[in-house]
Amino acid sequence: MIRSVAIIGAGNMGSGIAQKSSSEGFSVQMVDHEQEWVDRGHATIEKFLDEAIGRKIFRPEQAEKIKSNIKGVVGHQNVAKDTDLVIEAVFEDFSLKQEIFSSLDSTCDEKTILATNTSSLSVNELSQQVERKDKFLGIHWFYHPAKNRLVELIPAESTSQETLDEVEQYCKTMGKVIIFCKDRPGFCVNRFFVPWINEAARLKEEGIATAGQIDKVACQAFRIGLGPFGLMDLTGPTIALHASDYLSDQLSVPRFRGADNMRELVKRGGSWDIGDDPDCDEVAAKTIKDRLMGQAFAVSSQIVEEGICSMEDVDRGAKVGLRWSFGPFELANRIGVKEASRMAIEYAELAGIEIPDWFANRQQPFDFSYVDVSVDEGIATILINRPESMNALDVTVMDQLGEAVESLNARNDVNTIVLEGAGKAFVAGADVKFFVDMIAQDNFQRLYDFTVDGHKVLNSIESSPHTTIALATGLALGGGLELALSCDYRLGTERSVLRFPETSLGIFPALGGTQRTTRICGIEAARFAVLGGNFLDPSTARALGLLTHLVPAAEVARTVSDISSTGKPDQKYPGKPADPSNPVAEFSAAFYCDSNMESIISGSIPDGLEPDDPNVARQIKALSRAAPLALRTASELLDQAIATGDDLSAGLQMELDQLESTFDSNDAVEGLSALIEGRRPDYKGT
């Protein structure tokens, strides 16, 4: 169980890892070979946190706590012996890394895990420098570690599963999107991204277009905000040159070697001249698009063919790590797989590389899997693996989730099903764009069918013969919270955030949210959650009963094991808060009592309540932002949850019966559209 972390190297990357680790509650040592560099690392963190305070990301007291939790250490030989995880984050010098790990191997306790933050060097070769080969692995962070959500985990051939599990949990605690990679040059993202950068330099070198023109075409073709030359100027051409040469040498591909103009630029210490050039002609634009896309398609297919990672992870790396709108395989589907294959073949011939037949000869679009299933000693884990979209529920995800649950329900070697989301969200709701598109197309039937199918999936979880656990350890919003409530248990951590935002979007929770919530925590608390759309912090969610367990992140795995041994709960639907004395539970009982509801729904303050009371004022303000039609319908459905009592299926059917009148309303169109457009909705109550 990782609680303490030491970072070797206090530069931009090392200080960023230290800052992120500290902000998530880990005890941190930031280490460098001289006090000057340690001090510089602290200064870098302080500057970053000051900017975050200015942008209201952190409060001053939070920033102070982060800084106070980072201890500066001079000399890697002075790392605390009992440190749980040591991450080496020095520059890419194999000899230096060898020296550091040989020293750490003798300095640290046997339990200490050693990790290298490398973007390219062989993890297997570095593991030979330590005796604890089972406790050694690679973690490739992406800049800036406190902001970029992607990490690549690269086990050595000797890395134990226990080590990998512990480091994975450490990364999950920080809300990272994790790609597991085979130890091959460039791993996943740099394997296709570095040659992509280099190919842009070669296009300029050949006189196809200027740097500015190439960037414009690249931004349009890949739907990205910054082109290859802009990226090089931001991160430094030296890094691109070093990485290009390394990949060329390791893979024996001369085409990947750093372009001469890049080499000259680094030699004179300059940056690319990216002017506001006029657009290039159509022929040049097509050449740029074909070469850059062809390179991405060709190399990405090699990554999958070599078993480095999956198609889905390649796309995930592009979207999360590089902030591309689409990954290479998604992009292939968008432009047509046949066209993508043509581009890849032409680039492969130019570069002298081979691409697999399954890509070169492909005619049909690629199918993607967003739901991963694993089983270990009777405990099955269903991972909703779409972190680039906060694991939002769309038709594909819902279908795949349903298939996974149905399959596991039928297995005799499974006694527990755990639902988990990749990244920082459990599930951040349904895919809003799908709802808007269906309403705009006047295709309510498809929206209705999606909701009906969603009910079937959640009901199959509800009625599962196995114990079901939702790891609501991040954001559980809307449909994601409804999914969690269908489980026997909901496990949260200090990072959990629960909310039903639907009434503020012109709709109501239609996947059982009005019915299960009421049966779990009682009508008044359900009104607080559903009608008020209030954010529920972990302790409040636990007090209301929406979370059944609240534990430190490091204890999630043990708690799952304990729950699995216990089996299903005696009473899933107690119909009252778990802690009625909690201030929120008490306020809900007073504010949302039956006698106040007529006034609340009509938009007035109930008699006997003080409008100057901050709690009352907050609720009135929240209710004023809800769509009147959705608020009224949701309130009626909450009442029906009481009326139908033990007959959950009757209550769920009432949700479906109310679907069209609310979801096909003008208010629903306005609320959902406003969310996508980033504005406040203007409801008319129609």
Sequential DSSP letters for 155-215: E-TT--HHHHHHHHHHHHHTT-EEEE--S-TTTTHHHHHHHHHHHHHHHHHTTSS-HHHHH
Reply yes or no on whether the pLDDT at 676 is more than 80: yes
In which band, very low, low, confident or very high, does the pLDDT at 234 lie, cut at 50, 70 and 90?
Answer: confident
pLDDT of residue 21: 96
Identify the DSSP state of 78: G
Would the pLDDT of 452 be above 80? yes
pLDDT at 367: 95
Q: Which of 374, 480, 387 minimizes the C-alpha distance to 417?
A: 374
pLDDT > 70 in the chain, percent: 100
pTM of the model: 0.88
Q: How confident is the model at residue 609 (pLDDT cuts 50, 70, 90)?
A: confident
Task: Cite the active site residues.
Answer: 119, 140, 152, 190
Asked if pLDDT for residue 560 goes beyond 80, the answer is yes
The reported pLDDT for the residue numbered 236 is 84
Highest mean pLDDT (candidates 110-124, 400-414, 652-666) = 400-414
The mean pLDDT value for 329-346 works out to 97
- Taking the C-alpha atoms of residue 670 and residue 679, their distance in angstroms, rounded to an integer, is 10
> Residue 686 pLDDT more than 80?
no
Structure confidence at residue 371 (pLDDT): 97
The rounded mean pLDDT for the chain is 94
Tell me: pLDDT of 18 over 80.
yes
CA distance linking residue 202 with residue 256, whole number of Å: 10
Q: pLDDT at residue 440 above 90?
A: no
Q: How far apart, in whole angstroms, are the C-alpha atoms of residue 551 and residue 130?
A: 34
Strand order in the sheet with 475-477: 425-427, 475-477, 497-499
Burial class (CB in 10 A: 0-12, 13-18, 19+), 558: exposed
pLDDT, tens digit, 9 for 90 and up, residues 180-190: 999 999 999 99
Predicted local confidence at residue 208, as pLDDT: 97
* DSSP letter for each residue of 452-467: HHHHHHHHHHHT-SSE
**Cα–Cα distance measured from residue 633 to residue 615, given in angstroms and rounded to the nearest whole number:** 24
Average confidence (pLDDT) over 449-476: 96
Task: Report residue 275's pLDDT band, with 50, 70 and 90 as the boundaries.
Answer: confident
pLDDT tens-digit profile of 287-318?
999 999 999 999 999 999 999 999 999 999 99
Question: How does pLDDT run across 430-439, given as a tens digit for each residue?
Answer: 888 888 888 8
Tell me, what's the pLDDT at 171? 93
Domains parsed from the chain with CATH numbers: 4-180 (3.40.50.720), 189-360 (1.10.1040.50), 371-677 (3.90.226.10)
Question: For 405-416, what is each residue's pLDDT tens digit?
Answer: 999 999 999 999
Using only C-alpha atoms, the chain has a radius of gyration, in whole angstroms, of 27
pLDDT digits (tens, 9 = 90+) for 567-589: 999 999 999 999 999 999 999 99
Question: By mean pLDDT, which of 117-121, 457-461, 596-600 is the weakest?
Answer: 117-121
Q: Select from 457, 546, 443 the least CA-distant residue to 500.
A: 546
Q: How far apart are CA 663 and CA 672, in angstroms?
A: 10
| Rounded percentage of the chain residues whose pLDDT exceeds 90 | 85
> Higher model confidence: residue 6 or residue 274?
6
Across the range 402-427, mean pLDDT stands at 96
Dihedral (Cα; 422, 225, 505, 577), 10-degree rounding: 30
**Strand (E) or helix (H) holding 282:** helix 282-305
CB 420 within 8 A of CB 384: yes
Q: Which residues contact 454 (CB under 8 A, 6 or more apart)?
A: 393, 398, 430, 479, 511
Averaged pLDDT, 64-88: 96
Contacts of 467 (CB under 8 A, 6+ apart): 415, 416, 417, 488, 489, 563, 564, 566, 567, 568
Question: What confidence score (pLDDT) does residue 498 get?
Answer: 98
pLDDT band at residue 612 using 50, 70 and 90 as cut-offs = confident
Residue 519: is its pLDDT beyond 80?
A: yes
Give which of 581, 578, 458 is closest to 521, Cα–Cα.
Answer: 578
Sheet holding 70-74, edge to edge: 70-74, 27-32, 4-8, 85-88, 113-116, 136-141, 150-155, 177-180
Assess contact for 52 and 176: CB atoms under 8 A.
Answer: no
Overall average pLDDT of the 140-169 stretch: 94
> pLDDT tens digits, residue range 346-394?
999 999 999 999 999 999 999 999 999 999 999 999 999 999 899 999 9
